[in-house]
Amino acid sequence: MSRTLEEEEIEDRPPYLHSMIAGGIGGTTGDLLMHSLDTVKTRQQGDTHIPPRYSSMSSSYATIFRQEGFRRGLYSGVTPAFLGSFPGTVIFFGTYEYSKRHLIDNGVHHSLAYLAGGFIADFAASFVYVPSEVLKTRLQLQGRYNNPFFSSGYNYRSTVDAARTIIRQEGVLALFHGYKATIFRDLPFSALQFAFYEQEQTWAKDWVGSRDIGLGLEIFTGATAGGMAGVITCPLDVVKTRIQTQLNPHAVALPPARATNLQQQSASPSPTRKSAKTGTPSLASEKVAQQRRHISASSPSTSVRKPGSVNLDTSSVITGLKLLYKTEGIAGWFRGVGPRAVWTSVQSGTMLVLYQALLRQMEMHPLAGDNDGVPVV
């Protein structure tokens, strides 16, 4: 039985180029399709207002659309999302297929190979998608430029302006701010997603008795794999979002006009910072403070701060999880779990259904240099 399973796995292996192209197109399509829901999730998780401005998924979606529109509201941050998604998923699927095959060929159990392959592939892709994730998350939280409806502390004119401002005020490494939190979330998510998916695909093929399981089961296996992985890793997603959107609490309280002034002044040379001995902050330090945000851990379900609530000023995922649990309980860990479950289910289903469909098309019409569809290792 194990030999038969091994033979089936080898037979199902597509060429690496096919996997990379199909994965890139499928992953990017899924990301862009669900971007508006991701914006709602980001607003819910990054909202530090008391009481929160965004509660349920449906009301948050309607509020953002009504106040800020589609392109500048629900689809804010879509440009960096696209620029990071396609190359990131191309790298991911190429690395995943290579890692999985190498591990299986060396005697590693299939389930463990799927888990390890997801970890390795996501780590390889993280160097591309994390900077785009930082830009995307901040622009999603900001919404439209000079947004009068939501005070996020950010006020970028465009993706290019956001990148330039972050690099100028916070340094290049700021584009990797929350890198540890991001891979803490995404590595387990990808590992679980593909372990669930590969196992569900195996069960579905055994049940149907064919490699072609049909569109219904393709959608079901892809959506449930992503949805289950998304729910399990939601606490890590909350911490990641709050770390990447850190701002000074005083900056959050600034009116939009003041935030705009700070943004406009950033175009001129920054004056030299005063000595720490004077105790007087310079304009440069004030502008940098505008971009750095303590993570609020106050209760999302009451109109006043819970007794003992604290501000999270940490880049530690473990510390963030502990403080969120202490101040908000389990509800804090799973804030935004509804949009995340829907987003990961639909995104995963879209990506993996398109992935399989494109692989079948390329199997029938091999690309030039594919050696008639034979995998090239």
- Predicted confidence band at 254 (pLDDT cuts at 50, 70, 90)? very low
- Predicted confidence band at 48 (pLDDT cuts at 50, 70, 90)? low
- Predicted confidence band at 370 (pLDDT cuts at 50, 70, 90)? low
User: Residue 348 and residue 342: Cα distance in Å, rounded?
Assistant: 10
Percent of the chain with pLDDT over 70: 73
- Predicted confidence band at 303 (pLDDT cuts at 50, 70, 90)? very low
pLDDT for res 314: 59
pLDDT for res 373: 44
Q: 329 or 195: which carries more pLDDT confidence?
A: 195
Whose CA is closest to 20, among 81, 122, 72, 96? 96
pLDDT for res 144: 81
Percent of the chain with pLDDT over 90: 32
User: Residue 125 and residue 133: Cα distance in Å, rounded?
Assistant: 12
pLDDT at residue 55 greater than cutoff 80:
no
pLDDT for res 269: 42
CB 263 within 8 A of CB 158: no
- Predicted confidence band at 246 (pLDDT cuts at 50, 70, 90)? low
pLDDT for res 304: 27
State pLDDT tens for residues 347-369.
899 999 999 999 988 888 776 45
- Rounded to an integer, the average pLDDT of 273-299 is 43
State pLDDT tens for residues 93-118.
999 999 999 999 999 999 899 999 99
Q: What are phi and psi of 292, to 5 degrees?
A: -115, 130
CB 318 within 8 A of CB 301: no
- Rounded to an integer, the average pLDDT of 322-345 is 84
Going through 216-358 in order, the beta strands assigned E by DSSP cover 295-296, 311-312
pLDDT at residue 152 greater than cutoff 60:
yes
User: Residue 126 and residue 137: Cα distance in Å, rounded?
Assistant: 15
Distance of CA 276 to the CA centre of its chain: 38
Query: Partners of 296 in the beta sheet?
Result: 311
pLDDT at residue 244 greater than cutoff 70:
no
pLDDT for res 257: 44
- Predicted confidence band at 281 (pLDDT cuts at 50, 70, 90)? very low
Q: Which of 43-52, 198-207, 277-286 bottoms out in mean pLDDT, i.e. has the lowest?
A: 277-286
Distance of CA 116 to the CA centre of its chain: 20
pLDDT for res 148: 79
Q: What are phi and psi of 296, to 5 degrees?
A: -75, 130
